[in-house]
């Protein structure tokens, strides 16, 4: 299996991809819709923060949509996913309702975490999204443990843990890989290597893109490296690994991506990289724009219809979410301890 080479450290070299073949048209359009939803949701979240209508922090995954959508396209609804503080794209790609995400960030009772989790603690059991985690790599043992439990229950469901390159530096990631091999836990760890662990260039720690996957492969765990700008290649790599994981072994996927926005809303990223680094990279490598270009030889009305439908869906979900009620003060202790309420909320 061959994958397109990963993006270079500098954004000067643009991504180029082959036109989408006729047999892949429907899937490519579906991927375009899903990535467009992730992008549109996050742009609205940024806007709401600037207007003062949302509070708290926010970590954008702009430019990384192909990794989230491509991996989740290989999964079943019953498969389980854990995520990071930069997890809105993973949540949406796994099927978490758009309105529920918006409502959560507005602090509304109809939010997927009851309005009390916020941006870094989205979770939605009906979609198989076990949740984000503000602890770096904290979701890795969740996914491996949940996958192992499902296997003991007699299913072939799998667990998927998204991490960043900073998460790969955490001991828990390596400990989980080791015990997953020993226990045959069917989990896939997906490392979105965006080149920066906050402000530390990952190449200084691990080497060029693809090095992380090679390190994992040296432990005996099947590992692939894929260009995270190409949703079609990500989906192909994810399906290859998921098929193996579903048979009862762990695997690892490194997706080379790029962090377009600052680490968070309050991060002065101009202090450690050029001010236009994200804009310049997006202008040449935007996974959504490039997929659209690969579909360009065909009539554009289908893409235009998708754009209009996505815009309408996002606008409606945002309006309904903001109009929803806030949790009452009397509910302050709900969901803190295991209770029938928690079972009903799930």
pLDDT of 340 strictly over 60: no
Instruction: Write out pLDDT tens, residues 176-189.
Output: 999 999 999 999 99
The predicted model gives 278-298 an average pLDDT of 91
Residue 53, pLDDT > 50, answer yes
Residue 68 in contact with residue 335, Cβ under 8 Å?
A: no
Q: Is 342 a residue whose pLDDT tops 60?
A: no
- Which range among 44-58, 87-101, 165-179, 294-308 shows the weakest confidence by mean pLDDT? 294-308
Q: Average of pLDDT values for 219-231?
A: 96
Band of residue 64 on the pLDDT scale cut at 50, 70, 90: very high
66-78 tens-digit pLDDT = 999 999 999 999 9
**Rama region for 154: left / alpha / beta (φ>0; ψ in -120 to 50; rest):** left
Mean pLDDT (whole number) for 156-175 = 97
Distance CA 33, CA 272 (A): 34
Q: In this predicted structure, what is the pLDDT of residue 336?
A: 76
Q: Domains (ranges, CATH) in the chain?
A: 22-324 (3.40.50.970)
Does the CA dihedral 13-14-19-24 come out positive or negative? positive
| Cα(38)–Cα(257) distance, integer angstroms | 15
Decide: helix, strand or coil at residue 125.
helix
Does residue 9 carry a pLDDT above 70? no
Instruction: Name which of 137, 138, 150, 135 is nearest 183 in CA terms.
Output: 150
Q: If pLDDT is split at 50, 70 and 90, which confidence band does 13 have? A: low
With contact defined as beta carbons under 8 Å apart, do 56 and 119 qualify?
yes
Give the confidence band of 22 by pLDDT, cuts at 50, 70, 90.
Answer: confident
pLDDT tier at 224 (50, 70, 90 boundaries)? very high
The structure tokens listed for 301 are 């009305």
111: left (phi over 0), alpha (psi -120 to 50) or beta: beta
What average pLDDT does the structure give for the chain? 92
Cβ count near 266 (within 10 Å): 8
Separation in Å, CA 284 to CA 184, 229, 230, 300: 41, 11, 13, 21
Mean pLDDT along residues 108-132: 95
Strand runs labelled E in 59-198: 80-82, 129-131, 159-164, 187-193, 196-197
CA-closest candidate to residue 326, choices 127, 11, 144, 55: 55
Query: Could you tell me the two tokens for 268?
Result: 């002065």
φ, ψ at 27 (rounded to 5°): -65, -45
Q: What is the mean pLDDT of residues 255-259?
A: 97
**Cβ atoms of residues 41 and 55 within 8 Å:** no
């Amino acid at each position: 299996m061959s994958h397109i080479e990963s993006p270079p450290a500098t954004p000067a070299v643009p991504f180029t991809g082959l036109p989408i073949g006729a047999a892949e048209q429907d899937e490519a359009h579906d991927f375009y819709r899903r990535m467009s939803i992730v992008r549109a949701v996050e742009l609205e979240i940024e806007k709401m923060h600037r207007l003062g209508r949302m509070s708290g922090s926010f970590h954008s995954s702009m430019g990384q949509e192909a990794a989230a959508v491509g991996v989740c396209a290989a999964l079943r609804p019953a498969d389980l996913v854990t995520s990071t503080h930069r997890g809105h794209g993973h949540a949406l790609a796994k099927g978490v309702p758009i309105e529920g995400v918006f409502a959560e960030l507005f602090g509304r009772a109809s939010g997927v975490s009851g309005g009390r989790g916020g941006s870094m603690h989205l979770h939605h059991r009906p979609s198989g999204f076990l949740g984000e985690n503000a602890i770096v790599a904290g979701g890795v043992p969740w996914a491996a443990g949940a996958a192992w439990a499902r296997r003991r229950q007699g299913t072939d469901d799998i667990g998927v843990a998204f991490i960043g390159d900073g998460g790969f530096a955490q001991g828990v990631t390596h400990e989980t890989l080791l015990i997953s091999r020993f226990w045959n836990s069917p989990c896939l760890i997906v490392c979105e290597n965006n080149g920066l662990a906050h402000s530390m260039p990952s190449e200084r720690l691990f080497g060029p893109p693809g090095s992380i996957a090679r390190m994992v492969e040296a432990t005996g765990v099947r590992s692939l490296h894929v260009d995270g700008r190409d949703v079609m290649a990500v989906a192909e790599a994810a399906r290859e690994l998921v098929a193996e994981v579903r048979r009862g072994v762990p695997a690892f996927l490194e997706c080379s991506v790029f962090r377009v926005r600052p680490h968070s809303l309050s991060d002065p990223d101009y202090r450690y990289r050029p001010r236009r680094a994200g804009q310049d990279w997006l202008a040449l490598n935007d996974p959504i724009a490039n997929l659209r270009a690969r579909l360009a030889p065909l009539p554009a009305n289908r893409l235009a219809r998708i754009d209009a439908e996505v815009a309408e869906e996002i606008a409606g979900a945002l309006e309904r979410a903001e109009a929803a009620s806030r949790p009452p003060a009397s509910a302050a202790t709900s969901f803190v301890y295991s209770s029938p309420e928690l079972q009903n909320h799930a």
